[in-house]
Every structure is written in C-alpha cells, then in structure tokens.
C-alpha cells in the first residue's frame, strides 16, 4: 500500500440518488435518454479498456501518438507543478505526461479525479508506487460538480483527455469549459483531447466494432440499472445502434428495443414501456473541427497556445492558457 490520499466527494448513496434522478428524468422524456457516465461501473470500465484496444477504435492510439511526441513540449511550455486529470480512468496515457513533467523538474503533485472509486484507487496507487517523489491526491467526484475543489500547487495543468468532452451536449460543454476556466488562475493550463470529424464509415466502425465489445459496453448501462435500482431490464431485448448524426456532427449510441418491452425500476419508482423499435439514447460523442475547438475555448476565456494532431489528422490535442 503506498501513500495515497483519496478525497471522496461522492458516496455510494449519493451515486444511487443521482442515478435515480437521471433515470426518472431521462426515461420519462418523450425521447428517452440516459447520461453516458452511467456506463462506468467496474464492468463498464473494463469494457471501455477493451474498446481502447480494438482495431476500429482509433482515438486512444491517436491521442497516445500525439502525447508521446509532444509531452516534452507540454512540460516545457507549461512548467506545471501539478497535473490534474479529469475522468482519469486507468491513467495510462497520463504516464507520458508525468514522465515529461518529472524530467522537466517542475512536477510535484498528481491529482486524478474520477467518478469510479475503484478505478481511481487502483490508478492512484500504481502511480504513487512508480513515482515516489510525487504527492498523489485522488478525488472521487463528478467533474461536472466537483471542479471547485481541486487542490495542487500552481501552476496546474488540467488534462481532459480521450475526447470525453464530446460526451457533453453543446450547451453543457460550454458550461463545463467555463467552469474549468473559473477554477484556473491566470497562467494555468488546459490540455484537451478532441476527436475530429472524419468520414462516417470510420466513425461508425469505431462505435460498432466487429467483436461487439461496444455493444456490450452500451448494454452495460442496463445492468447498472438492474444492480443499483433493482430494475429488471433484459439486456438481450435491446440492440446496439451507433448512428452518425451529420447535422450535429456527433455519434449517437442508442439501445433499441427489438420488441414491445416493459422495464420495472423499483429503485426509481418507475415503470418504462418501449414499443418495438423505440430507443433510448445512451451517449453522444461529438466530433470537432479545429476552428470549432479554438472558438469554444475562446468563448470560455481560454486561449489556444498549441494544437497538435496525429499523423492522419484523426484526433486533436489542444493546449490552452487561462
């Protein structure tokens, strides 16, 4: 056991209460939807790790390529003393940044923030073990709610990688970027990963892989409802859909009922009926254009200082300054 602090802003009860609220709101709407953060229990987090290793799922590899190439530059430009990582998950790409910032000689603290306490504890301990000079302070929380509580010596660099920003609806995205800007002091940094608009075939394959791992990941949200809220959803009664919405430029994941289906959700005091073919939207994953990223950052009060893409221009990483 290494020396890791975990700040828990979210207890098991809070989580069930938040899920209950989301389920009541989303599943009683005329167009049913659920927030994508509910995929990530222990099983969902494992399925996501498997997704990142699929041939079709390029974002992880492209972002890693960029970080491997540019980590030294990121360290030199920012001179960060603290690395904050939002939605850190397994923190694997983080090591590239930790290595570069350590080599640069400025890094003192690592602050991973994640909703999943199990994933966070594991990652924080592994990192604390491998970087003995680093203070590791994990924060269990929701980055849409607990940003005001971020510790760390300044200047800090906040990394939000993987393209997870694409999971927000545009209005929530703007709010989120503004809240990141608000917790930073002038001269602190945001490192943001954004998946880019590309041909629809490549996009759809990335979200509908041949092995069906993404389909299982998508259906996992039903298992989360069953476990946390005592629901009786049959995952086999729903098919996985990955739809490219060309107007909004996002991938929309859906679960579509293959026949008339009823789901009882006692923990949310709700009964939901689906007619055959009706779906629940489980995720949007927005894809970006470089000009759009710059404009959205500027709108939030962040100025883009560096922009990098992988060799095939599939994924972008921006470094912006508060």
Residue numbers in the known binding site are 57, 87, 93, 114, 142-143, 167, 207, 283-285
- CA 238 – CA 226 distance, rounded (Å): 14
Contact 158, 86 (CB under 8 A): yes
Contact 214, 51 (CB under 8 A): yes
The verdict on 209 binding ligand AVJ (CB under 6 A) reads no
| DSSP line for 256-311 | EESS-EEEEEGGGTEEEEE-TT-EEEEEEEE-B-HHHHHHHHHHTT-EEEEEEE-T
The verdict on 168 binding ligand AVJ (CB under 6 A) reads no
The verdict on 35 binding ligand AVJ (CB under 6 A) reads no
Q: Tell me how far, at minimum, the Cβ of 269 lies from ligand AVJ, in Å.
A: 29
Quote the tokens at residue 80: 């960060």
Binder to ligand AVJ among 45, 90, 94, 167 (CB under 6 A)? 167
The verdict on 188 binding ligand AVJ (CB under 6 A) reads no
Residue closer to ligand AVJ (CB basis): 89 or 138? 89
Number of residues in contact with ligand AVJ, rule: CB under 6 A? 11
Q: Exposed, middle or buried by CB within 10 Å (0-12, 13-18, 19+), for 171? A: exposed
Residue closer to ligand AVJ (CB basis): 51 or 97? 51
Q: Tell me how far, at minimum, the Cβ of 296 lies from ligand AVJ, in Å.
A: 17
Cβ neighbours of residue 199 closer than 8 Å, sequence gap 6 or more: none
256-295 residues in contact with ligand AVJ (CB under 6 A) are 283, 285
The verdict on 91 binding ligand AVJ (CB under 6 A) reads no
Q: Tell me how far, at minimum, the Cβ of 83 lies from ligand AVJ, in Å.
A: 19
Q: Tell me how far, at minimum, the Cβ of 2 lies from ligand AVJ, in Å.
A: 27
Residue closer to ligand AVJ (CB basis): 82 or 88? 88
Look at phi and psi of residue 311 and say left if phi exceeds 0, alpha if psi is from -120 to 50, else beta. Answer: alpha
Residue 77 has a CB neighbour count (10 Å cut-off) of 16
The verdict on 138 binding ligand AVJ (CB under 6 A) reads no
Residue closer to ligand AVJ (CB basis): 88 or 164? 164
Quote the tokens at residue 289: 């254009």
The verdict on 44 binding ligand AVJ (CB under 6 A) reads no
| DSSP line for 269-281 | TEEEEE-TT-EEE
Q: Tell me how far, at minimum, the Cβ of 279 lies from ligand AVJ, in Å.
A: 16
Query: End-to-end alpha-carbon separation of the chain, Å?
Result: 37
Residue closer to ligand AVJ (CB basis): 162 or 316? 162
Of the ranges 113-121, 143-151, 162-170, 264-272, which one interacts with ligand AVJ (CB under 6 A)? 162-170
* Chain residue at closest Cβ approach to ligand AVJ: 285
- CA 211 – CA 194 distance, rounded (Å): 25
Q: Tell me how far, at minimum, the Cβ of 37 lies from ligand AVJ, in Å.
A: 9
- C-alpha triplet 175, 177, 182: angle, nearest 5°: 90
- CA 141 – CA 86 distance, rounded (Å): 10
Quote the tokens at residue 130: 């491998």
**Binding site membership for L-histidine: which residues?**
57, 167, 207, 283-285
Residue closer to ligand AVJ (CB basis): 66 or 80? 66
The verdict on 152 binding ligand AVJ (CB under 6 A) reads no
Query: What does the binding site for ligand AVJ look like in residue numbers (CB under 6 A)?
Result: 51, 59, 162-164, 166-167, 207, 214, 283, 285
């Amino acid at each position: 056991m290494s020396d890791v602090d975990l700040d828990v802003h979210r207890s098991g009860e809070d989580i069930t209460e938040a899920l209950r609220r989301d389920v009541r709101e989303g599943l009683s709407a005329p167009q049913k939807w659920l927030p994508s953060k509910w995929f990530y229990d222990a099983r969902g987090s494992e399925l996501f790790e498997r997704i990142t290793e699929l041939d079709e799922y390029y974002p992880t590899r492209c972002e890693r390529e960029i970080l491997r190439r540019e980590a030294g530059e990121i360290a030199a430009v920012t001179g960060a003393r603290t690395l904050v990582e939002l939605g850190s998950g397994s923190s694997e790409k983080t090591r590239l940044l930790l290595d570069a910032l350590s080599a640069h000689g400025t890094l003192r603290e690592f602050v991973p923030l994640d909703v999943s306490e199990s994933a966070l504890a594991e990652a924080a301990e592994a990192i604390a073990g491998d970087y003995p000079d680093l203070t590791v302070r994990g924060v269990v929380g929701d980055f849409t709610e607990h940003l005001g509580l971020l510790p760390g010596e300044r200047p800090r660099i906040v990394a939000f990688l993987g393209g997870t920003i694409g999971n927000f609806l545009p209005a929530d995205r703007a709010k989120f970027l503004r809240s990141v800007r608000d917790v930073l002091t002038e001269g602190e940094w945001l490192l943001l990963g954004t998946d880019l608009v590309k041909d629809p075939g490549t996009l759809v394959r990335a979200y509908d892989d041949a092995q069906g791992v993404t389909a299982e990941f998508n259906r996992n949200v039903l298992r989360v409802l069953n476990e946390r809220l005592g629901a009786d959803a049959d995952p086999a009664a729903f098919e996985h859909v990955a739809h490219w919405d060309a107007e909004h430029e996002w991938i929309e994941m859906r679960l579509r009922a293959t026949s008339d289906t009823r789901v009882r959700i006692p923990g949310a005091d709700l009964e939901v009926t689906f007619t055959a073919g009706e779906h629940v939207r489980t995720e949007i994953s927005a894809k970006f254009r470089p000009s759009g990223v710059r404009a959205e950052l500027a709108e939030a009060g962040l100025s883009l200082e560096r922009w990098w893409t992988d060799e095939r221009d599939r994924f972008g990483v921006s470094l912006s300054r508060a």
